[in-house]
Amino acid sequence: MSKKILIIDDDPEILVYLKELFQDNGYETVTASNGVQGLEKVRAERPDLITLDMDMPEKGGTLFYAGMRQDESVREIPVIVVSGVGPRPPALKKGVPVVSKPIDNGKLMQLVDEVLK
């Protein structure tokens, strides 16, 4: 069974781009366009990994991450930040990898493969 990745980003083009990239590399995908949907999907889908944009409407990446970490049932799911936003927000643990936009496919897939080994 393939590993499942939840992609959270408010840009529809990025959602499609990452969905195709991950599916082409053998991963199952689920998407959400903001942090509110992201929290619903992470609880319903139980993904193996989450890619998270930081700057989104409704509930941004920092609030999503904080809400996720408060839920014992999903708090240990690994997160990779994929964002055009500058430095790491203080709410994120130092161990959370960051891939800046524009996305370097090789770097992102290497991180995904390392996390999901």
Note the pLDDT tens digit of each residue in 31-84.
999 999 999 999 999 999 999 998 888 788 888 998 999 999 999 999 999 988
* DSSP symbols for 42-61: HHHH--SEEEE-SS-SSS-H
Please give the domain boundaries of the chain with CATH numbers for all domains.
4-115 (3.40.50.2300)
Note the pLDDT tens digit of each residue in 85-95.
665 666 676 77
The pLDDT assigned to 95 comes to 78
The pLDDT assigned to 42 comes to 97
The pLDDT assigned to 57 comes to 81
Residue 79 bridge partners (DSSP): 50
pTM for this model (two decimals):
0.93
Whether 103 has a pLDDT exceeding 60, the answer reads: yes
